[in-house]
Amino acid sequence: MSKLIIEGLLPDDQIRWKKIPCKCHKTEIEHMHPIINCIHCKCQDQEDSMPRKPFDISFSVLVESTGKYKTVKKTITKIKINRGKKYQDILGWYNMEDN
């Protein structure tokens, strides 16, 4: 199996949000993320949601000769990270492959 190529990865010591300490209380639920606004935990959730290995997507393509749609399956092996300017958190990511 191929490896997922991720553009925009940074070393931990260059990411601002990783230098912000977690302010969650570890045993009281009302003082934990997402109930309280903990920047560290919010940014960690965003990073954890990013894929780490290739994945498949399916989409519909119009076949002009028949006028009907067919389903196409594609394996994504290269993505690019979109980072926030303030905390350098992961706002999203997108496919970098040719169609």
Range of the structural domain that residue 38 is part of: 5-95
Which residues, 6+ apart, have CB-to-CB distance to 74 below 8 Å?
56, 57, 58, 59, 97
Measured CA to CA, the distance from residue 16 to residue 23 in angstroms comes to: 16
pLDDT of residue 35: 87
**78-95: pLDDT as tens digits:** 999 999 999 999 999 998
Q: Is the pLDDT at 66 greater than 60, yes or no? A: yes
Work out the pLDDT band at 99, boundaries 50, 70, 90: low
Angle at 91 between CA 47 and CA 39, to 5 degrees: 65
- Model-level pTM? 0.78
Count structural domains, the chain: 1
> Which residues does residue 84 pair with via DSSP β-bridges, in sequence order?
none
pLDDT of residue 34: 86
